[in-house]
Structure 1
Amino acid sequence: MEKKNAYLNVYLGSIKEPWADYCETLGKKPGAAIKEAIEQQLSKAQANPQPKTYRQTETVKEPKERFEILLTISEKAAVKERANIERCSMRRWIVDAIRTGLTHEPQFGMSEIDALGESNYQLLALGRNLNQIARRLNEGHYEPITVQRIVALSRLIDKHTDVVSDAIRASLERWSITHRK
């Protein structure tokens, strides 16, 4: 690496003076302390690398391989119960749990998919209504837009935002270790 490329310029703004004071108490120059902190973070990252993300798309499907696992009777019963709640097979539930662990992304169950589908349908309907209003205004037609109509649209959007948030929360909570009853 060339010497000129080995430098890092960082704008500290209002924290520069407190940082310099702190480094002085440590007996270090501010630049040396930052370099040391970066080195510590890099050594941590090398010691505990982040898991690789796994994503299987519909266009490129990997062949599936059989993999057997042994569960206790209570574990199998719990998986069966959760799969029934999620309206999916035990196999699908286990695969979703594994994918969540590998990708750190939500895997939606049928109830969330239904909720998201309904929410998407309603949001598309709202979009069509807004497009119709915009088209009429662009054509020079008077379209009575009242505060009440805007508030009603805002409430619908808020309602569907809540639906999406609930679905995401439910998916993330599904994979938590604690057992809910």
Structure 2
Amino acid sequence: MGAIITKTLLSEIEKSNWKQFCHSHGMSEAEMLRMLINRVSPEASNTEDFKAIRNNKITIRLSTENLKKLSCRAKAEGYFYQTSWVNAAVMANLYREPILTKEEMGVLRDSNRQLAAIGRNLNQIARVLNIEFRESDKITKEMIEALSLRIEEHKTKVYKLLHKNRSRWNIHE
């Protein structure tokens, strides 16, 4: 099938803005137009031209401006390597689930240790209440409230971490 050309008339301002938009996304005007058409009208896309890769490596080219933005964002979000941030961005987009940094994973590990400690405290309380019924007066209201407060603090910490992560990758439930 031969190629068919589509044309449109633009004002100087529209053309200038279009060129700048395409350039800022690291694409030619034709590539951007083709991508937009395929996104708006998937049934019009030509999947015959799709080229599958032969290995699990993908190379991308970014404008200098976009590379700077990527670097700043990766650093700000705690990534040591730009590639790690790009990989996390792709995975978050593909799976629509949070992708955690090593620091965030550490926070969640610490969180699990705290939950385990709380669980041990609850087991001790249950043991006292069930086995040593006569000594149940050793468990005070303050002890239960302190444990409840630790649980609430923990839940808030985990919620903030996951909320920050979902916001980073623009994942909404």
TM-score, normalization: structure 2?
A: 0.60
Verify: 1:65 aligned to 2:56, yes or no: yes
Instruction: Specify the alignment match of 2:75 in structure 1.
Output: 84
Q: Which residue of 2 aligns with 1:7?
A: none
1:112 aligns with 2:104: yes
Partner of 1:138: 130
Once residues 126 and 137 of structure 1 are traced to their aligned partners in structure 2, the CA distance between those partners, rounded to angstroms, is 17
Residue 172 of structure 1 deviates from its aligned partner by 1.1
Unmatched tracts of structure 1, length 5 or more: 1-46, 49-63, 177-181
Please tell me the residue identity of whatever aligns with 1:90. Answer: Q
Aligned residue for 1:165?
159
Q: Which amino acid aligns with 1:133?
A: I
Instruction: State the 1:175 CA deviation.
Output: 2.0
Is 2:113 the counterpart of 1:94? no
Amino acid at match of 1:65: N
Runs of at least 4 residues off by over 4 Å: none
Superposition RMSD on alpha carbons, in Å?
2.0
Post-superposition shift, 1:87?
3.1
Question: How far apart are 1:139 and its partner, in Å?
Answer: 2.0
For the residue of structure 1 that corresponds to 2:119, the secondary structure is helix
Amino acid aligned to 2:167 = E
Percent of residue pairs bearing the same amino acid type: 33
The answer for unaligned runs of 5 or more in structure 2 is 1-40, 43-54
